């Protein structure tokens, strides 16, 4: 391998072959407990923050993970 003149790059995909895409997770309804927690949480945060959290939670993300992601992306 050392001193080889060939590159270590992967060959390009064969033309006509489609690359497989990961299937998107299905949207779920939030439980009553999640709805209640989001409503209580919304007093301290913007609509944009809350919308992002709700969308992420419907995709299966936990409350804490959705909150941290929303904090990084849109702030309070």
Which residues lie closer than 8 Å to 74 by C-beta, 6 or more apart? 46, 48, 49, 52
SS3 2: coil
**50: its two tokens:** 């809350």
Which residues lie closer than 8 Å to 70 by C-beta, 6 or more apart? 45, 49, 50, 52, 53, 56
| Residue range 7-33, pLDDT digits in tens | 667 766 666 656 566 666 677 899 999
Q: What is the pLDDT of residue 21?
A: 64
List the chain domain ranges: 47-76
- Share of the chain residues as helix, strand and coil, in percent rounded to the nearest 5: 50, 0, 50
Q: What is the pLDDT of residue 27?
A: 79
| Residue range 29-75, pLDDT digits in tens | 999 999 999 999 999 999 999 999 999 999 999 999 999 999 999 88
């Amino acid at each position: 391998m050392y001193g080889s003149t060939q590159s270590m790059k992967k060959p390009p995909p064969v033309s006509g072959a489609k690359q497989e895409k990961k299937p998107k997770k299905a949207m779920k309804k939030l439980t009553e407990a999640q709805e209640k927690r989001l409503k209580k949480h919304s007093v301290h945060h913007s609509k944009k923050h809350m919308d992002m959290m709700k969308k992420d939670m419907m995709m299966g993300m936990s409350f804490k993970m959705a909150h941290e992601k929303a904090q990084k992306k849109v702030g309070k």
